[in-house]
Structure 1
Amino acid sequence: MPNIQNTITIPATAHKVISVGAYNGLLNTSTDFSGRGMPYGRYGQKPDLVAPGVNVLSTKTGGGYDRFTGTSIAAPFVTGSAALMLEWGNVRRNDPFLYGERVKAFLCRNAARSFPRAYPNPEWGYGALNLCETMDELVIFNQRGGAFR
């Protein structure tokens, strides 16, 4: 019987990959289908963060809408957030040095955390995606010449 606390597999265990788990946004609870992981040596805790992944309304093939559940519907939240960050930094020239590892660091640093959980942890990683807080800190970071608040 596999250990539920060690169900994250390759490629999610890779260091430079942003590993995304899923949580139930309505109940603010973890899901049993989302991979969980223990610390991976020098690569740190996985997943890196979680995003809504239960009954998410989205478009469906052939038109219309449907509700989907899984990490495959959670990951696009993080992908879209990273794309918006890169647009702000590189396309709009607000931070031409914003690249993958810094995007990951800002996302993890500003993830929403529900206490009394300790973070990072095998279910939630560094917490739930929080693009608003991430962008606020990114703007302030750049206004201060690269210093965290």
Structure 2
Amino acid sequence: MLVTAQNTSTLLKTQRPDLDPVTGAASALYNGQLQNSQPLTNIQATPTSAAGNAQADNINAAFAKTRVLLQASVPETAATQGTATQAFKDYMDTPVAQRIREQFLKGMGLTEDDVKAMPPEKQQAINDKISDLMQHTEALKHAESARHTQEEQV
């Protein structure tokens, strides 16, 4: 009995059937599931190897697309992260009273220019509401700190 073993490329199925073909191929490549990879230039074109070539071409194309997408998305992420970080720092640098005022006006759909254009009575009414909101916020902070103090003592 003569047994021959061919050295061929095999692609194991991914464990996740919910992956689309591009993600599945990239996952297979990253997880090392592509076994015995060989250059395709030495393989003769037969019906069975043509299917293998098409499959290998699809895998290579998916891997190339994934690399291009990953390389293209890195600068955008870095730029967004820098912008978001700067926006957060700017927000935290503003005084609490100003943040409360901006949130209140935004909730009412107003801007500072709108408030300045109002008659003095309406401006005073808005300022009184904002002042009440700040006092309420401070009262909540004090109540919260008192509750934490009581919990620590118990």
Normalising by the residue count of structure 2, what TM-score does the alignment of the two structures yield? Answer: 0.22
Q: Give 1 or 2: higher strand fraction.
A: 1
State the TM-score, normalizing by the size of structure 1.
0.22
Which structure has the highest helix share of the two? Answer: 2
Q: Which of the pair has more CA radius of gyration?
A: 2
Higher relative contact order (CA 8 A, sep 6+): 1
